[in-house]
Structure 1
Amino acid sequence: MATVKIILKEDKANASGEAPLYIRLIKDRKPKYISLGFRINPKHWNAEERKVKKSHPNSQRLNNFIASKIAEAEGVALTMETQEKGISTRKIKEAVLGKASESFLRYADAYIKALEKNGQVATGIKAKSIISKLKDYLENKDLLFDQLTVSFLKAYERHLKDTIKNSTNTIHLNLRVIRRIINEAIREDLLPYEKNPFLKFKLKLEKTAKIYLTEELLKQLEDLPLKPGTRKFHHRNMYVFAAYTGGLRISDILTLQWKHFDGERIIIDTQKTGSTVSVKLPSKAKAILELYQKEGKGKQNPEDFVFPILKAGKDYNDPKVLYQAISSATAYTNKDIRAIGKEIGVIGNLSFHSSRHTWATRALRKGMRIEYVSKLMGHTSIKTTQIYAKIVSSELDKAMEIFD
């Protein structure tokens, strides 16, 4: 006989401390969970009586709702066990949920709001843009989880390629976000694992050549005569600084403040991952900082930005405001870096991110151990860093052709 209970999953509490309520079905020691679709603070939950405390403003309404759902689940379980011996908790769960699955779009919107609430603004904005594109394709129609089939994904993939003219890698990014949201729904027991369409749908990804500067090109970029104080002058200095300091991302260069520099090294919590990076500065990097230091040692305001791109004194505590400022500054920076790249004869479009590739390939060529390169770049896996090792190896292979 299946047992039916209501539980509060405090381990799945959100940033506000609210935890989701689930119906738990157990049969033959195999549990299945059904989300009730709302959360409450644990302080309002009576774990012994399995009901909402009177301290909650909507306690009576919620308890009535819980009681009706428990009664419904018990009734379905009893009926199914009577009709079929050995019925699984999975089938009971599906019967309790009914034929109509939940809305993927509503779940996606809630997922995006949770990202923004947890401070993952950049991830949330990108996901919102991708889901907005999906909504346009659906022409204001809803999309249920049950409708997210392999056939649907193939049709949407064709739409992105043929109608929107997205590249293979842009399509990959769009579908990867959809997959991530589905996986989150599976973790919350809103969708059975076996109904994940991505189990039978493979994402396509094209390898792209990483653009980086050789020692000669980097030297040309350093020596390029640019008028001091101009935007292009600052952008060039930022690029060179990144190429000498572990390939710091542009978001970290833009938000670098004097308080992050102790005279020998910079210590900063990265914008993308939040991980702390400590880099001892080589002489070239120190020389760039000296250009921005005021007369007299140590008189800089610790809160001032090293590179004068973001507005001094502006409050960037709001993550959305900071994200928009970084996005705007990045666009202008890349525009100038592209122009500079053409001036020094770079083939292809140079972007600020190539400073990261430049540092990695130079570090490996100079004999730095790959695990050190990985650590300084803030990679979560050394597999990511091995891409640069392959680039260096291919250069060495090409160099050996002189013996042919």
Structure 2
Amino acid sequence: MNYKFSLHNHVDKKGRSLLYLHITQDSKRQRIPLEDMKIEPRFWDQKKQRAKSSAKHVPHFNLLLDNIERKITTIKTTYHLQEMHLTLDRFKEEFLNTMSRTDFLAFMKKMLDDNQHIMKEGTHKNQMKVWRKLKKHSETIRFSEITLSWISDYKNFLLVKEGLASTSMFGHIKVIKKYLNEASKRGVKLAIETRMIHCGSTSGNRVNLDGEEVDIMAEYFTSRFIKDSHKVPLGLFLLSCFNGFRISDAQQITKENISKNKIIFTSVKTGKRQVIAINLTTKSIINHCPEILSQKFTDQHINRTLKDIAQVVGIKKEVTFHVARHTFATNYLRLGGKVEVLQQILGHSDIKETMIYVHIVQEEQDRGMLILDNLIEGSHFSQLHANTAA
């Protein structure tokens, strides 16, 4: 496969001609117009395949040509290493990035663009964050570069350079693994077996607030000392502490979602219609700060504000909005609620998700029973245990 650049015969009103890439293979030819690469014919050196040094008015022209040649070399090299036959049609497809089989970034971006209309808004937004982190790490990432060693280095980049929590880092790796699998389904030969990529847990440690800590938050919420900027984010947080809302659902609830003492909404994440009975505490929160049904903020703003609030009221835990959902679930079970009902309230499709909270509460109860060992310190029973263990 050979290539060369040449100018089109047509000259536009500014005296410029469009540059074309000509690719030949086995007496066949493909001609690809290079959009936005126009130059006056007198400044083009066909023999050197570059703009003449006198073309100072287009200083980036030759640099763009260098980049194009690197792209051509990358496509040819990748197909050779993957032992795939590179036809003219496939080269054109790769070159125009319609669905790259060489550059993982180009492949992932094309998949995201093509599927945006069928993806949930939040899912597309989160996966675009993953793509932007990859782009920040490297302008191009060849499929042939992605090995277990590369995955390890990239995890380190996310943790050390970008300061991501381990759960967030594993979330990024999980998305990368997903798109590597998509590429494999489309015939891309990978340098790694995706089953070897360890994604780890993305669920975090399920931080939750106990009743006393929720009461501290509520006391600040109703006090005359609360900052104006804290009121709505804290009101939404408390609303979730007593209803189990995700941040995406709490943010979408308005007066129109309230009817006959019920909050009716469609979950942003699951698409399920949910009906939640309004308890007295929820009524009090809304009555005290009705703005929570009208004012909207970004998720990042709310989480930053909650960290500030936690510092103000002296709560040492890492508080984010999702802590409110965990708080609702664990306190619901602590107060004797049934796990099957909790599953319906949280909108979990699989009860295994809900059982996590059962295990948390059970562990608390187990630790609580150990306190009784201190009832008679240094007693006959503790001595008996020591002798038996020996």
Give the TM-score normalised by structure 1.
0.61
Q: Given residue 231 of structure 1, which amino acid in structure 2 is its aligned partner? A: S
Q: CA separation of 1:111/1:349 partners in 2, compared to 1, >3 Å: closer, same or farther? A: same
1:112 Cα deviation from its structure 2 partner: 1.5
Equivalent-residue separation in structure 1 for 2:111 and 2:206 (angstroms): 33
**1:11 alignment partner in structure 2:** none
**Structure-2 change in CA distance of 1:169 and 1:337 (3 Å):** closer
Q: What CA distance in whole angstroms lies between the structure 1 residues aligned with 2:259 and 2:340? A: 25
* Partner residue, 1:269: 266
**Which residue type is aligned with residue 341 of structure 2?**
Y
CA 1:242–1:196 in structure 2 vs 1: closer, same or farther (change >3 Å)? same
**Equivalent residue of 1:259, what SS?**
helix
Pairwise CA distance, 1:115: 4.0
Q: What CA deviation, in whole Å up to 9, does each residue of 1:25-58 have, x standing for no partner? A: xxxxxxxxxxxxxxxxxxxxxxxxxxxxxxxxxx
Q: CA shift at 1:265, angstroms? A: 0.9
Cα distance in structure 2, aligned partners of 1:159 and 1:239: 32
Q: Partners of 1:332 and 1:109 in 2: how far apart?
A: 27
CA–CA separation in structure 1 for the residues paired with 2:248 and 2:201? 26
- Correspondence for 2:213: 217
Match of 1:360 in 2: 329
CA distance in structure 2 between the partners assigned to 1:97 and 1:380 by the alignment: 45
String of CA shifts for 1:334-379, please: whole Å, max 9, x gaps: 3332233234432223222211111101111122221221221122
SS of structure 2 residue aligned to 1:309: coil
Partner of 2:104 in structure 1?
104
List runs of 5+ in structure 1 lacking aligned partners.
1-92, 294-304, 311-325
Q: 1 CA distance for matches of 2:305 and 2:84?
A: 60
Match of 1:143 in 2: 142
* Cα deviation code 1:50-81 (max 9, x no counterpart): xxxxxxxxxxxxxxxxxxxxxxxxxxxxxxxx
2:300 is the alignment partner of 1:331: yes
| Offset of residue 383 of structure 1 | 2.1
Q: CA RMSD in A?
A: 3.1
**Partner in structure 2 of residue 398 of structure 1:** 367
Match of 2:233 in 1: 235
After superposition, the Cα gap between the structure-2 partners of 1:229 and 1:264, relative to the gap in structure 1 and judged at 3 Å, is farther
Change (3 A) 1:288 1:166: closer
Q: 2:235, 2:292 within 8 Å by CA — same for their partners in 1? A: no
Deviations 1:94-146 (A, max 9, x none): 766789944322210111213433353332232223223223333x33513x4
2:199 match: 203
Whole-angstrom distance in 2 between the partners of 1:97 and 1:131: 27
2:138 is equivalent to residue 169 of structure 1: no
1:268 shift after superposition: 0.3
Query: What amino acid is aligned across from residue 221 of structure 1 in structure 2?
Result: M
TM-score by length of 2: 0.62
Q: Is the 8 A contact 1:265 1:279 kept in 2?
A: yes
The answer on whether the counterparts of 2:105 and 2:140 sit within 8 Å (CA) in structure 1 is: no
Of residues 274, 279, 287 in structure 2, which corresponds to 1:290?
287
Unaligned runs of 5+ in 2: 1-81, 92-100, 374-390
Greater RCO, CA 8 A, separation 6+ = 1
Structure exhibiting the larger radius of gyration computed from Cα positions: 2
What count of residue pairs does the alignment treat as equivalent? 279
